[in-house]
Amino acid sequence: MDLSAINPIILVAALISAATPILLAATGELVAERAGVLNLGVEGMMITGAVCGFIISVNTGSPAIGFVMAAVGGGTLSLLFAFLTQVALANQVASGLALTLFGLGISSLMGQNYVGIKPPRMPDVNFGPLSDIPGLGPILFSHDPIVYVGLLIVAGVWATLKFTRAGLILRAVGENHDAAHALGYKVKRIRTLAIMFGGACAGMGGAYISLIRVPQWTEGMTAGVGWIALALVVFASWKPWRVLLGAYLFGGITQLQLNLQGAGVALPVEYLAMSPYIITIVVLVILSADKSRAPGSLGRIFHASQ
Amino acid sequence: MTTPLLSLRGLTKAYPGVVANDDVSLEIGRGEIHALLGENGAGKSTLVKMIYGLVKPDSGAMEFSGASFAPQDPRTARAGGVGMVFQHFSLFDALTVAENIALGMENAPAMSQLAARIREVSESYGLPLSPDRIVGDLSAGEQQRVEIIRCLLQDPKLLIMDEPTSVLTPQEVSILFETLNKLRSEGTAILYISHKLEEIRILCDAATILRLGKVVGTCVPAETTARDMAEMMVGTTLKTPQRSGATAGEVILELNKLSLPPASAFGMPLREVSLSLRKGEILGIGGVAGNGQDELLGALSGEIRANEGMIAYKGLDMASMGPNARREIGLLSAPEERLGHAAAPDMSLIENALLTGAVREGLVKGGILNWSAARAFADQIIEAFDVRTPSAGNAARSLSGGNLQKFVIGREVLQRPDVFVVNQPTWGVDASAAAAIRQALLDLAESGAALIVISQDLDELMEISDRFATLNEGRLSQPRPAIGLSVDEIGLMMGGAHDEEVTRG
């Protein structure tokens, strides 16, 4: 066993990258849930985003356009969910599960001819001399643009929910849709927008896996990350910064246990492999012991019956 | 009077199977408090929803300040100068007072400015309120203030109030009336919906009475008796509940320092509630909602288990007994919430009759349901309590509030309880149904059962109780004979947190 082979700076830099798909997907789902919509289709929207981003990047040669189209792809798929739950008033749990199955199916159909191809690489952001700062440079200033986009989205979601009128209305719709309707807010429209935002974020998260983390296309490559993102939102008590913390914790322990496996730690691999799930859940359960609770109308169907 | 502020001409709105408003016309002048009276289902709510832009009329016209008025949605109505305080508060429990108010405004200022304006307006109208508090932690009276201030911040010309006093203590009612009188003197018109006819006689300048969607009369409340108004609403003569003063028998239920933690995050703990209940008497328990009523009912019904030695029924300790075990030996209850607690909304009346009647009415044998007996029991309730429904097979949800309430009360009364605990027996129920329910409770006591009636309606408690007590902050006051209690004394018994307002009012 050789723990000195683990470089803490590289580990931290890697965990930030490893956490980005979960972070994006969970932040999008957080917005949907704060608007009162429980969308269990995150996994399906992620994998659809992954394949859309991959196909577009390969064909255009531009990962940036790929990410944009991944967001569009995830958002489009989420419109199906929005139609089912907001217009057809279908059950949200069943619709979300159906969306995941549908997304997994359609993505493997779309990606049939793309197995084994290498996508164009997205260059890191050039911060010039900043990236040469010892320690901080590799951790903070040596990532691809999507890492920073993800952080901006978290900060933006937090600020919007806390400080803006739009955020207040979104929270109000999630808290009590009947009261919001009585005040004249368009519950269905607001929820549809929140669902689409969630879909777009999940799509980008998926594309981050297929374009940057793995970079290749294989069927079902999101491998349950969407479900982890869903759990993360709940354990983070629907708070954006806690989602960030949870995602980094999960990403960090995932990286650490890989490194530990590489260093030959005398623990069965199975225990190491399960450690990210257990530790993240334990930490967030402890954090969520305060009195914060789920949005009041979460998962409930809204029907404006007069 | 010059042109009225609001005039409605021939408003009609039909829903499938029912005409909610049929050719309704009325006029409200500036600075006038206008009462809208009617039983449940008379079409009051639909009418005000049309004025507030939540519902569009099928035909008819509205004029506001002399100009044609047809709001597409509540925002347009608010922009035009119409404010509305809802019966079931349209508030967000998890948000602060200021956030709730901002949501109801078109151009909300920045939070800090808004907080200052809330303080200013709440002071000047005598409705103290702190902008930073979470609404879920406020009392019903304070929550209503949030709604009122939300409206007042937009300088409405017309304020619609739907049953504003149903959840208030007498002191809070008098504070509210002062506020409304101040608004009237400033020229604001108020459309006031209430069941409480005495209040309308004190407060309102004019009244329009609806029955089955039609205007059946108008009157000047101060010159009309409450009884006449009630009879116009109902369309028949009313019976006053009668009872011949029976004497109380032996003690059947005893609470000994019953203490419980709160039932929910926004609930109230019970603190050392003691009482003894005798056969044949009705103990009325008043107090503002959220002061432990739900917890007390839960502890007696068996939904919440109390510790040993706290509840004794017929000398038996109730600590280990659940709701069905208690039903079996005659301790029955009916909770406040009709849909979802007293009755399962999407199940038929037969199934609902089965749910609480199974044990005492023998509707289940060896785990097998006896559907014909259940149907007979449901039909018996419908017959005896004049529940209006097409059949016993209809879902509980499809009944109007008053009819479902008659059903859930009747279901328990017909099981011949020895002790019957009921919370809000006539909440949101029209005058004739309320009278029928009260009569049934009195008859039950007459037959030797002991009753605990928890209610927000003090007139009701005074009408049927032998003894009266109040719940305040989870504490039960010493029960006193109901006869001869004055409104002031009752208000002081309810007192507690509202003491400061008593001295102010």
Confidence of residue B432 (pLDDT cuts 50, 70, 90): confident
Confidence of residue A287 (pLDDT cuts 50, 70, 90): confident
- Decide if B92 and A293 are in contact by the 8 Å CB cutoff: no
Using the Cβ of A237 and the Cβ atoms of chain B, whether some distance falls under 8 Å is answered with: no
- Decide if B95 and A184 are in contact by the 8 Å CB cutoff: no
β-partners of residue B364 are B369
**Lowest mean pLDDT, pick from A74-83, A158-167, B243-252:** B243-252
Higher pLDDT, B380 or A262: B380
Higher pLDDT, B401 or B9: B9
pLDDT exceeds cutoff 70 at B88: no
- Kindly state the average pLDDT of the residues A31-50: 96
User: Furthest-apart CA pair in chain A: how many Å?
Assistant: 70
Least CB-CB distance to A169: which of B53, B90, B103? B103
Q: Six-digit token pair at A222? A: 């999101």
How close B32 gets to chain A, by Cα (Å)? 25
Using the Cβ of A167 and the Cβ atoms of chain B, whether some distance falls under 8 Å is answered with: no
Confidence at residue B502, expressed as pLDDT on a 0 to 100 scale:
37
Cα-based torsion angle of the residue sequence B112, B114, B119, B123 in order, rounded to the nearest 10 degrees = 160
Q: Which residue of B has its CA nearest to A184?
A: B74
Within 10 Å of residue B237's Cβ, how many Cβ atoms? 8
- Kindly state the average pLDDT of the residues A72-95: 95
CA distance A110 to A218: 11
- Asked if the domains B6-234 and B251-504 are classified in one and the same CATH topology, the answer is yes
Neighbouring residues of B68: CB distance < 8 A, sequence distance ≥ 6: B61, B62
Q: Find which of A168, A186, A187, A301 to mutate to test the B interface (most B CBs within 10 Å of its CB).
A: A168
- Decide if A175 and B93 are in contact by the 8 Å CB cutoff: yes
Confidence at residue B213, expressed as pLDDT on a 0 to 100 scale:
87
Q: Six-digit token pair at A68? A: 């944009």
CA distance B243 to B387: 23
β-partners of residue B33 are B190
- Decide if A296 and B94 are in contact by the 8 Å CB cutoff: yes
CA angle A188, A191, A192 (to 5 degrees): 85
- Contact between B36 and B52 (Cβ < 8 Å): no
Please give the mean pLDDT across all residues of chain B: 85
How close B113 gets to chain A, by Cα (Å)? 14
Higher pLDDT, A131 or A27: A27
* Rg over CA atoms, chain B: 24
In chain A, what residues touch B54 (CB-CB under 8 Å)?
A: 182, 306
Confidence at residue B504, expressed as pLDDT on a 0 to 100 scale:
36
Least CB-CB distance to A183: which of B55, B74, B99? B74
Confidence at residue A303, expressed as pLDDT on a 0 to 100 scale:
80
β-partners of residue B395 are B348
Confidence at residue A305, expressed as pLDDT on a 0 to 100 scale:
58
Please give the mean pLDDT across all residues of chain A: 90
Higher pLDDT, A1 or A177: A177
**Lowest mean pLDDT, pick from A279-283, B48-52, B292-296, B469-473:** A279-283
Q: Is B121 helix (H, G, I), strand (E, B) or coil?
A: helix
- Kindly state the average pLDDT of the residues B171-180: 86
- Kindly state the average pLDDT of the residues A169-175: 94
Of the candidates B131, B179, B165, B286, the one whose C-alpha atom is nearest the C-alpha of residue B504 is B179
Helical (H) or strand (E) element with B491: helix B487-494
- Kindly state the average pLDDT of the residues B1-11: 83
Q: How far apart are the first and last CA of chain B?
A: 33
- Kindly state the average pLDDT of the residues B98-114: 85
CA distance B118 to A144: 48
Using the Cβ of B54 and the Cβ atoms of chain A, whether some distance falls under 8 Å is answered with: yes
Cα-based torsion angle of the residue sequence B390, B395, B398, B401 in order, rounded to the nearest 10 degrees = 100
* Rg over CA atoms, chain A: 20
Confidence at residue B87, expressed as pLDDT on a 0 to 100 scale:
67
In chain A, what residues touch B78 (CB-CB under 8 Å)?
A: 184
- Which of A200-214, B376-390, B423-437 holds the top average pLDDT? A200-214
Q: How far apart are the first and last CA of chain A?
A: 70
Using the Cβ of A94 and the Cβ atoms of chain B, whether some distance falls under 8 Å is answered with: no
- Decide if B99 and A168 are in contact by the 8 Å CB cutoff: yes
CA distance B426 to B245: 22
- Which of A170-174, B164-168, B237-241 holds the top average pLDDT? A170-174
Q: Is B435 helix (H, G, I), strand (E, B) or coil?
A: helix
Q: Which residue of A has its CA nearest to B16?
A: A306
- Which of A132-141, A151-160, B481-490 holds the top average pLDDT? A151-160
How close A168 gets to chain B, by Cα (Å)? 7
Least CB-CB distance to A184: which of B46, B74, B93? B74
- Decide if B103 and A176 are in contact by the 8 Å CB cutoff: no
β-partners of residue B84 are B160
- Decide if A175 and B91 are in contact by the 8 Å CB cutoff: no
- Kindly state the average pLDDT of the residues B68-92: 84
In chain A, what residues touch B91 (CB-CB under 8 Å)?
A: 176, 179
Q: Is A65 helix (H, G, I), strand (E, B) or coil?
A: helix
CA distance B215 to B235: 12
How close B160 gets to chain A, by Cα (Å)? 14
Using the Cβ of B102 and the Cβ atoms of chain A, whether some distance falls under 8 Å is answered with: yes
Residues counted in chain B: 505
pLDDT exceeds cutoff 50 at B501: no
Within 13 Å and on the Cβ side, how many CA atoms surround A275? Answer: 19
CA distance A26 to A244: 9
pLDDT exceeds cutoff 50 at B165: yes
pLDDT exceeds cutoff 50 at B500: no
Confidence at residue B499, expressed as pLDDT on a 0 to 100 scale:
38
CA distance A284 to B158: 50
Using the Cβ of A296 and the Cβ atoms of chain B, whether some distance falls under 8 Å is answered with: yes
pLDDT exceeds cutoff 50 at B226: yes
- Decide if B93 and A169 are in contact by the 8 Å CB cutoff: no
Encoded amino acid at B438, one letter: R
Using the Cβ of B177 and the Cβ atoms of chain A, whether some distance falls under 8 Å is answered with: no
Question: How far is C-alpha B87 from the chain's CA centre?
Answer: 9
How close B7 gets to chain A, by Cα (Å)? 23
**Lowest mean pLDDT, pick from B105-109, B212-216, B344-348:** B105-109
Confidence at residue B98, expressed as pLDDT on a 0 to 100 scale:
92
Confidence at residue A142, expressed as pLDDT on a 0 to 100 scale:
85
Distances (CA, A) of B272 to A196, B255, B308, B355, B490: 53, 9, 14, 32, 21
How close A173 gets to chain B, by Cα (Å)? 9
pLDDT tens, position by position, B271-281: 999 999 999 99
**Lowest mean pLDDT, pick from B10-24, B97-111, B163-177:** B163-177
% chain B with pLDDT above 70: 93
- Decide if A306 and B75 are in contact by the 8 Å CB cutoff: no
In chain B, what residues touch A291 (CB-CB under 8 Å)?
A: 265
- Kindly state the average pLDDT of the residues B143-147: 87
Using the Cβ of B74 and the Cβ atoms of chain A, whether some distance falls under 8 Å is answered with: yes
CA distance A35 to B186: 40
- Decide if A183 and B90 are in contact by the 8 Å CB cutoff: yes
CA distance B57 to B46: 9
In chain B, what residues touch A172 (CB-CB under 8 Å)?
A: 92, 95, 99, 103
Using the Cβ of A166 and the Cβ atoms of chain B, whether some distance falls under 8 Å is answered with: no
Neighbouring residues of B492: CB distance < 8 A, sequence distance ≥ 6: B502
- Decide if B92 and A182 are in contact by the 8 Å CB cutoff: no
In chain A, what residues touch B46 (CB-CB under 8 Å)?
A: 306
Higher pLDDT, B340 or A197: A197
Using the Cβ of B92 and the Cβ atoms of chain A, whether some distance falls under 8 Å is answered with: yes
What residues of chain B, 342 to 381, have a C-beta less than 8 Å from chain A?
Answer: none
- For chain B, which residues make up each domain, given as ranges? 6-234, 251-504
Using the Cβ of B90 and the Cβ atoms of chain A, whether some distance falls under 8 Å is answered with: yes
Of the candidates A42, A110, A35, A122, the one whose C-alpha atom is nearest the C-alpha of residue A75 is A42
DSSP sequence for B367-432: TEE-HHHHHHHHHHHHHHTT---S-TTSBGGGS-HHHHHHHHHHHHHTT--SEEEEE-TTTT--HH
Third-level CATH fold of B251-504: Rossmann fold (3.40.50)
In chain B, what residues touch A165 (CB-CB under 8 Å)?
A: 102, 108
Level-2 CATH architecture, domain B6-234: 3-Layer(aba) Sandwich (3.40)
pLDDT exceeds cutoff 60 at B496: no
Q: Which residue of B has its CA nearest to A166?
A: B103
Confidence of residue B245 (pLDDT cuts 50, 70, 90): low
- Contact between A229 and A42 (Cβ < 8 Å): yes
